[in-house]
Amino acid sequence: MNDERPIWFSVGEASGDLHGAELMKHLRALDPSARFTGMGGPAMRAEGFEQRHDMRLISLVGITEILGGLPRILRLLRAIKRELAETRPRAVVLIDCPEFNFRIAKAARKLGIPVYYYISPQIWAWRSGRVNFLREHVRKVICILPFEKPFYAGFGMEVEYVGHPLMDVLPLDDLDRRPVDENLIGILPGSRTREIATLLPLFAQTARRLRADRPGLRCVMVCAPGRDKEQLAALWPDDVPVECVEPDTRYETFRACKLILAASGTVTLETALIGTPAIVAYKVSKLSEIVGRLLVNVDFISLPNLIAGREVYPEYIQERANPATLAETAAAWLDDPARYDAVRRNLAGLRNQVGAPGAARRAASIILDDLARLGA
């Protein structure tokens, strides 16, 4: 297309970094002249992304955490607004992180830059009125979950459903052939600073309880992209052995585990599609909990449960996320093969519910076709 202006990406967490990298691959395959810049992470940099800002700058969770980091975020927003005005990119691609990316969308729209939202924000879960903002500031919402298209279409939005990009990333045929280690449990404490600090000690205490009756049980922790092993080790007790592995082998690790203790997030869908049972935990500050109870309008927090419309993975939130409760559920799976197999059977149908492979390619085509119509 010979437009030398870059496409600006705005990504704020590890899962978005992976999805952004896949989208960039397909944008470049369709338009070899395409260039990419903005805010992202290591997976995007590996694809030739010119990173102006590190996504870890907005790796926050919860109302109080956002307030604490507000001065830094405001400085970052001012810098990005200035750079958008100077760079005038062909387009802005936003991936999740609505609290931050809505402000980028507003700035880009004011400058006349077309905005596309890939991995659409979960406004169907809470504060649904924000859909009106998207309708005004975003040319197209590109969604990846099957129930999102009718939600957005009901508000008169330009929306495209492409399926879930994990179906392109997960080597399912190879993973299905790999054995499960009966004595291995996985630890996935999330990618954001606050959730790691909260959940990692909780998971360690749970593992200690499980090992008390099962001394042969081993733990493996997958480091989220951009996270330092030493930082994680500082939150894990010395008396509970754990192996830390790099994120590039995470899918093989997920498959090897008998079960996983996981923070709520995209990783729960990864483990579900791979077929490994997981126990989901999440905790936020008291203020965030109060606000959440007023605004959240879904029955579940984990993607497998939302897609299935029922509890596939048990969820433990706030006070219920404690070592005794988590260990009780994990012990039942470890000690009762029938109960464990029932969970795995429930996971089997999810692959058919998330769409066929090719999501990132379809999203790239939608963006470039629309830009062509705009002459950009």
> What share of the chain has pLDDT > 90, as a percent?
64
Does residue 13 sit in the same domain as residue 130?
Answer: yes
CB-count exposure of residue 154 (10 Å: 0-12, 13-18, 19+): exposed
pTM for the structure as a whole: 0.78
- Which residues, at least 6 apart from 27, have a Cβ–Cβ distance to it below 8 Å? 7, 34, 36, 364, 367, 368
- DSSP code of residue 123: T
Task: Give the chain's domain count.
Answer: 2
pLDDT over 50 at 62, yes or no? no
Shared domain for 210 and 290, answered yes or no, is yes
Contacts (Cβ under 8 Å, ≥6 apart) of 348:
275
- The model's pLDDT over 273-308, given as tens digits with 9 standing for 90+, comes to 999 999 999 886 554 444 444 445 557 888 899 898
The stretch 259-284 carries a mean pLDDT of 93
60 and 19 housed in the same domain = yes
Max mean pLDDT range (9-13, 34-38, 124-128, 342-346): 34-38
**The tokens 């099962």 sit on which residue?**
214
pLDDT digits (tens, 9 = 90+) for 199-251: 999 999 999 999 999 999 999 999 876 677 778 888 899 999 999 998 889 99
Query: Nearest to residue 91, comparing CAs of 3, 2, 4, 6?
Result: 6
- Statement to judge: residues 35 and 68 lie in one domain: yes
Residues 28 and 77 placed together within one structural domain of the fold: yes
Separation CA 362–CA 142 (nearest Å) = 10
Round to whole Å and give the CA distance between 202 and 185.
14
Q: What is the pLDDT of residue 60?
A: 54
Identify whether 218 is part of a domain: yes
Instruction: Judge if 183 and 56 occupy the same domain.
Output: no
Give the whole-angstrom CA distance, residue 301 versus residue 280. 9
Q: Do 178 and 83 share a structural domain?
A: no
Find the CATH number of the domain harbouring 57: 3.40.50.2000
250 and 298 assigned to the same domain: yes
Same domain, 349 and 362: no
Q: Which residues of 13-46 are buried (b: 16+ CB within 10 A; e: fewer)?
A: bbbbbbbbbbbbbbbbeebeebbbbbbbbbbbee
Domain that holds residue 98: 7-165+358-374
Same domain flag for 22 and 152: yes
pLDDT tens-digit profile of 23-59?
999 999 999 999 999 999 999 999 999 999 999 888 6
315 shares a domain with 249: yes
Kindly report, residue by residue over 128-178, the tens digit of the pLDDT.
678 889 999 999 999 998 888 888 888 888 899 999 999 988 999 999 999
